[in-house]
Chain A
Amino acid sequence: MTWIAIRLATALGVAAFAAAASNGTPSPARARALRVCADPNNMPFSDSAGHGFENRIASLIARDLHEPVQYTWWAQRRGFVRNTLSAERCDVVIGIIAGDEQLSTTTPYYRSTYVFVTRRSSRLRLASMDDPRLHHVRIGIHVIGDDYNSLPPGVALAGRGIVQNVVGYSIYGNYAQESPPSTLISAVAHGKVDVAIAWGPLAGYYAARSRVPLDVSPVTNAMAGHGIPFSYAIAMGVRKGDSTLRGSLERELHTRRDAIRRILQEYRVPLVSDDGGAEPQARANVEHAAPAVAPHTASGGTP
C-alpha cells in the first residue's frame, strides 16, 4: 500500500468515523473527540490501522474521557508539529520529547534509551560506547538528511572518530514500505551490519519479531565525554496554552500509569529510570527476545 493510498484510505476512514460520531452524540457539547495527530506508518508507535502503542494509549485515555479518538494522519517528519498541532488539525501528540519547545508537554510517562542490537549468535553483547570493538565491527545507525540534524549515535561515534565502519540508514527510508526505520533492525538480522545502535522502542519491537534471534541491550555510558544524551523522557504534547487538556491528560497518565506501563512492556519498549539505568523489569524484558508478539500486530509480516 503506498503512502498516498494509506492517506486516502485513512482520510475516508476519519470522515466516516466523524459522521458516525456526530450522529451518535446526544448534545453538541459532547461532540468533542480526542483529536490526535499521528504518523500513519510508524510502527511500533502508530499506524493507520491503530496497531501502535501510541494508538493503544490514545484509545485508553479517550475511553476514560468518554470521547472518541479522531486521527489526523501526518508523517512525523520536519514540520510535523507545525503542520498538525500548531495548525489546529488536532489537539494532542501522543509521543514527543519531554520539554520540546514547539509545544507544551505533559509530565513524561516513560523514558527509553538508545540500545545496541546484535545477532545473538555473534555474542557481541555490547554495552558501552567506549567498547574498543566498536572500531572494528560494522555498525548501522539511522541518519537524517543534511538539514543540520543528527541522531545521537552518529554524533557520539563521529566524536570518537568511528566513521569508517559506520553504515547509515535513512530515518525516513522509503515511506511506501511499512515502518521505514525498521530497515535498520532487519539489517542486523540479515547480517548487513553486526550491530545497530537504535532508539529503544523501535529496536525492542522489531528485534522481538525477528526470526533471527537478536539481543537488545541499553547503551550505558553514552554521555561520557561528549555530552550527548542517549536516554530521553517521552511525554504527550498539546498546543502551548492548552492547559485544560494538558491537565486532564496528566491526570490520566497518573491514574492509568500501570496500564500504560503494561502496554509499553507488551511492545518490548526498553524502559530506563530517570538516571538512565535500565529498570529491572525492562532489563528482564529486553533480555528476553520473544519470538512472537501480541495478537493485535498480526497484520502482515515485517521484513
Chain B
Amino acid sequence: MQGSRWASSWIAFATIVTSVAACRGEHAPMAMAATGSAPPASAGAEAPGAPPPGSWPLPGRNAQGWRYSPLAQITADNVKNLQVAWTFSTGTARGFEGQPLVVDSTMYVVSPYPNHVFALDLTKTGGPVKWHYLPTTAPASQGEACCDVVNRGASYADGKIVFNRLDNHTVALDAKTGKVVWDTKLDSIEEGSTMTMAPLIAGNVVLVGNSGAELGVKGWAAGLDLGTGAVLWRAYSTGPDSVVKIGADFRPYYPQYKGKDLGVSTWPPDQWKLGGGTVWGWITYDPELNLIYYGTANPGVWNPDMRPGDNLWSAGVFARDPKTGDAHWAYQFTPHDSWDYDGVNENIPVDLTIDGQARKVIVHFDRNGFAYTIDRATGQVVVAQPYQSLNWATGVDPQTGKPVRVPSKETHQGVNTTDICPSSTGARDQQPAAFSPRTGLFYTPSTDLCMDYKGLKASYIAGTPYLGADVRMYAGPGGWNGRGQVIAWNAATGKRVWAITERFPVWSGPVVTGSDVLFYGTMDGWFKAVSARTGQELWKFKVGSGIVGNPMTYQGPDGKQYVAVYSGIGGWLGAIALGLSASDPTAALGATGAMPDLPKYTAPGGMLYVFALP
C-alpha cells in the first residue's frame, strides 16, 4: 500500500499542475513551488519484491518497471561534479536501445544486431571484460527488422542472463561464465518475425514477445521456463479465444470485450490472420496480484478500410497469469487503429490515492497521446488525459472506455488527411517512463510530431507493384525546436506537473533516484541530470552519439553510486543519422521528414558511458 504512505505528496502537487497547452513551446521547465513539497518520511518505499538497492537485475530495475533506484549519493547539490568514470565500446554502430544490468559486481550489456553480450567486471578498474558471448544471429534477420536492428536488453534471475536474438532465439547464459544454459527458437525470420524486446522474468517464467507487424506477422507473447527454456504457453493477440488464451479467468471491465472469439469477430473473415498485435514493448509484473501486463501493437493490414471493426486485441493491453498465460482482462487503447498507434508501451503497476480512494492501478503512456491510469485488477479506466498534443480524438469516455474520435483525422488509403497529431511515431514510442515513490510522479519522454497522410505512390515489392501512402511527419505545436519533451505527470489527476522541452523527440527512458535526481539522454547526444521535483537542469554531458537508450544507476563494489547510459543513435526516428537519405522525407515510414537536422548533431556510435562523482 504505497499509496497511503505518500498520498500527502499528491496534495502538494495538486496545486501546481499545469495544463498541456500551457506547457507547449516552453523551452525551460515550468516553474513550480518546490518548497514545502518534501515528501513525508515514510514516502519513497520500494515496490514489493524490489531487488537489492544497489543492483539493477531487470530492464526497469524492479518487475514493475519503475526505473527508480533508492541510491542517493548523487544529489541535486553534487551532481554538477559528475564525471566520466569509464567507457566501453561494443563495436556496433546501430540504434543502442535498452539499458545495462548490474548484478553481483558485474555489468551485463547486450548490443544491437548481432547481439553481442558482454559481462564487465566492476570489481576492477575500468570494467574489463569478464566474458563475451557472440551468438550466431542470422544475418538475414537484419532485412526483416522494421526499425533498425535494435535490442532492448536482458533480464537476470537465478544466475542466468536472458536476452532475445534478432532472429527469434531467446537465450539464457550462465551469468558467471557466459556459457549457454538454454537456447529456444520461438519464431521464423522467413515469415517476417524478429525479436527486439527485453525479456522480463517473473518468478520462474521468462516472458517474451515478437516484432514484425510491418511484414504481416501475427503478434504473440510467450512464457518460458526459466530453468529449461521450455515454452510453457504462447498467447496470440488475434484469433479465437483458444489461441488468445481467453478462458474462464477472463473478466474484462467493459462490455465490448465480453463475448466469444472477439479476436475473430471484430474483423472481416480471416483478416485476423493477417498480422498485427505484436508484442515488442516492455512487459511488467505485479507480484501482489500475480499478473503480468503488456501492450499489443497496431492491427494489420495497413489499410483500415480493409478491416472494418474494432480489430481486437490489437492496440491494447492484456493482464495475464505469468505461469499459465491465461488472460484476466484486456483493454483496447485504440480500437480500429488507423494511425499506427501501437499499444506496446509499458504498463507500470503502482498504488495511488485517487479521489480519496486507494487504487491499485497501472499507468500507461500510449502512442496515441493519452496517458491512462487503469485499475490493474479489473481493467477499468480511472483517468485518461492527453499528455502530449493530439487531435485524433477529443477524449476518452470513462463510462465506455472508448476514445471519442474525430472523423476528419481518420486515415483512408487514397484519401488525403492532413495535420494528424500525434504522428505515427506516437506521442511516445517504446522508451519507457520512470516512477518515483518519493515524488509520486511519473516521468515520461515524449515526441511532439504531427503528420500528413496523402496520396498513393506506386513502388515495387517482391515483383509486385504496391501503393504506399505518402506520409510526411513534421514538428507539432511545440515547433521545430521543441519536437520532444520530458514530462512529469500526475497519474492520479491526469495532469502535467512540469515539462522540459528538447529540440529532438526524447527517445530515452529516464531513471529517477532516491535523491530526486532524474537522468535522461537526448537524440543529439546530451546526457542530462535534472531535478525530479522541478525539472531544473542540474548537469549535462555531451556523449559521442545520440542517446536512444535508457540510463540506469547502481552501486559499485567500492560503495560508490554510478550512472550508466548507452550512446548510439538509431531506431526508427534516429535512422536518418545512420545514413538513410535525408532527401526523401517519406523514408523510414515518413520519419526522416521530421528529423532532417539530426545528422548535423550526431553520427553513429555504440558506446557505454559510466559516470561517478570524483
Task: Give every chain B residue within 8 A of A142 (Cβ-Cβ).
Answer: 464
Task: Give every chain A residue within 8 A of B143 (Cβ-Cβ).
Answer: 74-75, 77, 79, 83
Which one of B41-49, B184-192, B364-372 is at the A interface? B184-192
Which one of A17-25, A122-130, A154-162 is at the B interface? A154-162
Assess the B303–A168 pair: CB atoms within 8 A.
no
Task: Give every chain A residue within 8 A of B307 (Cβ-Cβ).
Answer: 163
Assess the B298–A45 pair: CB atoms within 8 A.
no
Say which residue of B302, B460, B463, B467 sits within 8 Å of A146 (CB atoms): B302
A295 at the interface (CB under 8 A from B): no
Assess the B216–A154 pair: CB atoms within 8 A.
no
Nearest B residue to A87, CB-CB: B579
Task: Give every chain A residue within 8 A of B469 (Cβ-Cβ).
Answer: 148-149
Assess the A42–B340 pair: CB atoms within 8 A.
no
Assess the A171–B456 pair: CB atoms within 8 A.
no
A143-B301 contact in complex given A148-B589, A149-B469, A166-B306, C-beta closer than 8 Å: yes
Give CA–CA (A205, B143) in the complex, Å: 27
Nearest A residue to B217, CB-CB: A145
A266 at the interface (CB under 8 A from B): no
Assess the B461–A144 pair: CB atoms within 8 A.
yes
Say which residue of B190, B457, B462, B589 sits within 8 Å of A171 (CB atoms): B462
Assess the A151–B467 pair: CB atoms within 8 A.
yes
Task: Give every chain A residue within 8 A of B268 (Cβ-Cβ).
Answer: 163-164, 166
Least Cβ–Cβ distance between A180 and chain B, in angstroms: 7
Assess the B191–A145 pair: CB atoms within 8 A.
no
Give CA–CA (A159, B412) in the complex, Å: 9
Assess the A159–B414 pair: CB atoms within 8 A.
yes
Give a binary string over A1-23; 1 marks a CB under 8 Å from any B CB, 0 the rest: 01110010000000000000000
Say which residue of A3, A79, A155, A199 sits within 8 Å of B190 (CB atoms): A3
B580 at the interface (CB under 8 A from A): yes
Nearest A residue to B141, CB-CB: A4
Assess the B460–A95 pair: CB atoms within 8 A.
yes
Least Cβ–Cβ distance between B19 and chain A, in angstroms: 33
Assess the B465–A149 pair: CB atoms within 8 A.
no
A82 at the interface (CB under 8 A from B): yes
Give a binary string over B290-311; 1 marks a CB under 8 Å from any A CB, 0 the rest: 0000000011111101111000
Give CA–CA (A197, B302) in the complex, Å: 18
Task: Give every chain A residue within 8 A of B151 (Cβ-Cβ).
Answer: none
Assess the B467–A150 pair: CB atoms within 8 A.
yes
Give a binary string over B340-356; 1 marks a CB under 8 Å from any A CB, 0 the rest: 10000000000000000
Which among B140, B413, B463 has the greatest number of chain A C-beta atoms within 10 A? B463
Assess the A150–B413 pair: CB atoms within 8 A.
yes
A164-B461 contact in complex given A145-B213, A145-B214, C-beta closer than 8 Å: no
Nearest B residue to A164, CB-CB: B268
Which one of B77-85, B271-279, B499-507 is at the A interface? B271-279
The 10 closest A-B pairs by CB, nearest first: A158-B305, A145-B216, A146-B300, A147-B214, A176-B190, A45-B463, A175-B190, A145-B214, A199-B464, A148-B469
| Further contacts, 6 of them, CB under 8 A, given A101-B584, A228-B467 | A146-B300, A148-B302, A155-B413, A172-B215, A174-B190, A228-B456
Interface residue ranges, A against B (CB under 8 Å)? 2-4, 7, 39, 42, 45-46, 74-80, 82-83, 86, 95-97, 100-102, 142-152, 154-155, 157-159, 163-168, 170-176, 180-181, 199, 201-202, 226-229, 232
